[in-house]
Structure 1
Amino acid sequence: MADLSHRKAEAKVQIKGADGKALANTKVHINQINHEFLFGCGAFETLSYTNGTPNATQEDRMQKWLGLFNYGTLPFYWGGFEPEEGSPHTEQLMAAAKFLKSKDVTVKGHPLCWHTGCVPWLMNYDNKTILEKQLARIHRDVGNFKGVIDMWDVINEVVIMPIYDKYDNAITRICKELGRVGLVKKVFDAAQESNPDGIFLINDFNLSTNYEILIDGCLNAGVPIKKIGLQSHQHQGVWSYEKTEEILSRFEHFGLPIHFTENTIVAGPLVDPSLDDLQDAHYDDDAATPELEQKQADDLEKMYRNLFENHPLVTAITNWDFGDGAWLNAPSGVIRKDGSLKPSYKALHHLIKEEWHTEYDAETDAEGYVKVSGFKGKYEITSRTETIKYTLK
C-alpha cells in the first residue's frame, strides 16, 4: 500500500450554528469536494461552450469534463488570440475562464511567449519593437486576467527556440539576439510585474540536460520561475517507469513544484520514432481499437499512480486532449468523438473521485470540534442544520 501522507493532512474544525454557538455532540458528514492536487485537462472546447447557448452535445461533453477535472488550460496562442493587431479575443477567453472558475476549476493560460503559432504581423517590426510588443502583450493579458487566471505558461519550448528553422518567426529572431536566459528573464519579469502573486511556469518538451542547464541559468539570473513544466506527449512510445524516474530525478533537484503540463497517451498505433516533429504526424479515423483503448487506460493509471503516490513535488498533471481527434486526429482523449466514455476516463475517475477521495461520517465533541482527516483539498462538513466549507492543507 502506497504511503500517501504527503497528499494528506488533518485538522480540528469547530462547527457552529447560525446563532454562532458550537454544535456539540452533533453528527456530521465530511465530504471532499475538490482536490488540492491539480488534475487537469486541455479546456479549449470551453470557448465554444461559452460562446452562445450550448447545444445538447456541448452540454454533455462539458459536464463530463467537469465530472473529472479541477484544472483547465486555455489557449492564448498569440496567432489565434490576436490575429489582427490591437484586437485580441479577450472577451471570448474571459467568458471561458470565468465559467471554469465559477465551477471551482483552476485555470491556466498557455502560452504568453512561443515561436510556434506566433502572429504574422509581428514580422513587420524590427527586433527592438518585437520585444517591446511581446512584453506589452504580457503586461496586458496577465493584467487583464488577474484574479481569473493567475497561472501562466510564460514561455514555451525555449530549448529549441533560437535554433528553430522550420519557418522564420519574430520570437526566434529576438531569442537569437537576447539568448535563451535573456529572453526568459524579460518575459518572466513582465509577468511578475503584472501580477506579483501569479504562478509562472517555464514549459518544454525537450527534457534533456539542455533544459536542466537552461532552468539553472534562469534561476541563477533571478528569473521568478514558480513551477517547472514538463511535457509528456507519448505518441512515439509510452514512457517506462525507469524513464519517468530518470527524468524526475533530474528536475526534482531544483526543489520546485513540477507540473506535467501536456500529457498524451494514445489509444492507437505509435508514431514513427524517427519523426522529428510531432506536428507532422496524423492518425487515421479508425486508428483506435478496444484493445488499444484499454492499454491507454492501463498506461494512464500507472503513470498517475506513480506521480501522485511517489513524487511529492509533482503537483499537477494535465491530460492534454479531452476528446479524441483534438490534435493530429489522434485517439488521445478520455472520451471518443461521439462523446462516449473511454476506459481511460473511467480509470481516472476511479482514482480521482473514488480511491483518492475522502468521505465519512463523524461526530463533534462537547465543544463542537470534529477532526477532518484526508486528502488535501476543499471539504463540505454537513450537519442536520448547517453546511460549512473548509480547506484542508
Structure 2
Amino acid sequence: MRLAVWMLAVRLYAQGPGVGEPWRVEALQRIERLRKADVKVEVTDARGRPVKGAQVRLQMKRHAFGWGSAVAAQMLLADTPDSEKYRAFVLDNFNSVVFENDLKWPQWEQNRQRALEGIQWMRDHGITRIRGHNLVWPSWRWLPKDLRGLEDDPGAMRRRVMDHIKDEISATRGLVPDWDVLNEPYTNHDVMDILGAGEMAAWFKQAREFDPAAKLFLNDFNIIEAKGLDTEHQNHFFETLRFVRERGAPLDGVGIQGHFREPTPPERMLKILDRFGSLGLPIHITEFDFDTKDEAAQAQFTRDLLMACFSHPKVDAFLMWGFWEGRHWRPNGAMVRRDWSPKPNYEVWRELVFGKWWTDEKGPTNADGVFHRRAFLGDYDIEVTHGGRTGKAAAPVGPGGSTVKVVLN
C-alpha cells in the first residue's frame, strides 16, 4: 500500500505544477536579486576618451555558486573509454566536487595515494572547490574495524579518532577547502555513546588546528527529504549544530543531504532552509539524487529543487551525488545512462546552470563608452572590438557588482 501511494505521488508530480505558482515567482525574483549584479564595461582610447559603439562581449567562465557532484578517484585516474567520458563530463558540468568514498576514514587508510592523486587531478584541471567527505562517521559500520575493539578503552579510542583527524586533514591541508568533519550523527553515534556528545566539538577543534583555512561542516540526511516531514531528525540536527557551537566548535557551514525517493513540496523545503539559515551559516546541499524510474517526475523535481536552492540566500553550493548510471549508488538517480545518453534531468541541469543562469552577452557601448548588463555572479572574460582594435580583460563579478575599464590602444 505504501509503495502504491509513493508511486502515485511521483506520477502526479510528473504532471508538473504551474509556472505561476507563488513560490516559483518569488524564487525567480530572489535569484534575480541575489545571484546577479551590475556589470559596467568602460571603454576608452589610449588618450582616455570614451569610445562609442565599441562591441563588447561579456562571457561567463565560471559560476560563483558551487555546482558540483560526487566523483570517484578511480574513474578520474583510470585509462578506459568510460573513464575518459567520465572526466570530460566532470569538466563540462561542474565547478565543485566531493569525493564520494575516497576520503572516508577506512578508504583513506587503505589507499590514501589514490585519494591524493584524485585531488591533484581535479586541481590540475582547474577545479579547486573540493569537498572532503568525511572525517568522522561515528558508527561501527563506517569506521575502521579496529575501533570496535576500543569500546572498553575510551582514552585509546579518543586518541585514535584525534590522530586520524590530524593525519588526514594535515595531508590534505590547502588542497581541500571544505570538510564534513562529522557525518550523520542522528543515526550514527556509537563513538559519542562512549566518549560523550561533547567529543563532537573536539573533532572540529582538531580539524581547525591542523588546517586553519578549511571550512568545517556538519552533514546530515532526511532534513529536506521524506516530504520534509521528519521533524524529529530535523530537530536533532538543528540542536546538534547549536550544541557543538555552544561548546566552541569552529563550525563554518551546514551540510544538508538530499537523497529523495519522493518529492518534497518546494514551499516546505524553503521553510526548512529558512530555519537552518537562521543559524547564520552557509548551507551546502551536499548529496542530491532522486531515486525513481519516472524520468519526467525526476526532471520536474530536479528543476524545482535547483530553483528553490539557488534562490535561497544561505545556500551557496549544490552537489549531485553522482551523475553516471555506471557509477552510482542508486543508478535510477543518475543524470546520464550507462551508455552516456542524457536523461531529462540532465537536460534540466544544462538548461538552468548553463542556460537561464549563465551570462553571455554582446552589445555596443553607449555615448559615454559604457556597456552595462545585469550578470550572474562569477568569473568573466571580456572582449572589446572597435575599428580593427581589440581589448581584453578578465574580471570577477561579486555581489557588489563590477566596473571594468578596457583601453583600446
Q: Distance in 1 between matches of 2:38 and 2:188?
A: 45
Q: Supply the AA of the counterpart residue of 1:176.
A: D
Give the corresponding residue for 2:146: 121
Give the corresponding residue for 1:275: none
Q: 2:297 pairs with 286, 295, 304, which one?
A: 295
Give the corresponding residue for 1:77: 104
1:24-63 matches, within 5 Å, as 25=51, 26-44=54-72, 46-51=73-78, 54-63=79-88
1:143–1:194: 8 Å Cα contact kept in structure 2? yes
Give the corresponding residue for 2:310: 308
Q: Supply the AA of the counterpart residue of 2:309.
A: L
1:16–1:22: 8 Å Cα contact kept in structure 2? yes
Q: Deviations over 1:254-291 (max 9, x none)?
A: 121111111121232xxxxxxxxxxxxxxxxxxxxxxx
Q: Distance in 1 between matches of 2:327 and 2:199?
A: 31
Q: Distance in 1 between matches of 2:376 and 2:305?
A: 19
Q: Distance in 2 between matches of 1:98 and 1:386?
A: 34
The structural deviation recorded for 1:210 is 1.1
Give the corresponding residue for 2:164: 137
Q: Distance in 1 between matches of 2:328 and 2:77?
A: 21
The structural deviation recorded for 1:213 is 1.1
Identical amino acids, percent of aligned pairs: 24
Q: Distance in 1 between matches of 2:44 and 2:85?
A: 38
Q: Supply the AA of the counterpart residue of 1:299.
A: F
The structural deviation recorded for 1:70 is 1.4
Q: Supply the AA of the counterpart residue of 2:120.
A: K
- Of 296-305 and 114-123, more deviation after overlay is shown by 114-123
In the alignment, structure 1 residue 233 sits paired with structure 2 residue 259 = yes
Q: 1:370 to 1:189 in 2, by over 3 A?
A: farther
Q: 1:21 to 1:14 in 2, by over 3 A?
A: farther
Q: Distance in 2 between matches of 1:23 and 1:9?
A: 26
In the alignment, structure 1 residue 247 sits paired with structure 2 residue 272 = yes
In the alignment, structure 1 residue 102 sits paired with structure 2 residue 124 = yes
The structural deviation recorded for 1:28 is 2.9
1:153-302 matches, within 5 Å, as 153-162=180-189, 172-173=190-191, 175-180=192-197, 182-207=198-223, 208-235=234-261, 237-268=262-293, 292-302=294-304
Q: Distance in 2 between matches of 1:141 and 1:122?
A: 17
Which structure has the larger Rg?
2
Q: Distance in 2 between matches of 1:128 and 1:176?
A: 14
The structural deviation recorded for 1:50 is 1.8
1:297-376 matches, within 5 Å, as 297-309=299-311, 311-324=312-325, 326-362=327-363, 371=372, 373-376=374-377
Task: For structure 2, list consecutive stretches of 5 or more residues without a partner in the other structure.
Answer: 1-24, 224-233, 399-409
The structural deviation recorded for 1:252 is 1.8
Q: Deviations over 1:341-368 (max 9, x none)?
A: 1111111100000100011124568998
Q: Supply the AA of the counterpart residue of 1:192.
A: R
Q: Supply the AA of the counterpart residue of 1:82.
A: E
Q: Deviations over 1:53-74 (max 9, x none)?
A: x322221222123222211101
Q: Distance in 1 between matches of 2:253 and 2:290?
A: 23
Q: Supply the AA of the counterpart residue of 1:7.
A: R
Give the corresponding residue for 2:11: none
Q: Distance in 2 between matches of 1:308 and 1:62?
A: 25
2:174–2:214: 8 Å Cα contact kept in structure 1? no
In the alignment, structure 1 residue 149 sits paired with structure 2 residue 176 = yes
Q: Which has the higher strand share?
A: 2
Q: Which has the higher helix share?
A: 2
2:38–2:372: 8 Å Cα contact kept in structure 1? yes
Q: Distance in 1 between matches of 2:50 and 2:90?
A: 39
Q: How many residues align?
A: 347
- Of 332-341 and 377-386, more deviation after overlay is shown by 377-386
Q: Deviations over 1:161-202 (max 9, x none)?
A: 22xxxxxxxxx23x113333x122111111111121211110
The structural deviation recorded for 1:91 is 2.5
Q: Distance in 1 between matches of 2:60 and 2:175?
A: 23
Give the corresponding residue for 1:287: none
Q: Distance in 2 between matches of 1:262 and 1:58?
A: 22
Q: Deviations over 1:95-116 (max 9, x none)?
A: 2112222333211110011134
Q: Alignment partner of 1:72: what SS?
A: strand
The structural deviation recorded for 1:205 is 1.2
The structural deviation recorded for 1:121 is 2.7
The structural deviation recorded for 1:369 is 6.7
Q: Supply the AA of the counterpart residue of 2:342.
A: L
Give the corresponding residue for 2:7: none
In the alignment, structure 1 residue 389 sits paired with structure 2 residue 355 = no
Q: Supply the AA of the counterpart residue of 1:202.
A: L
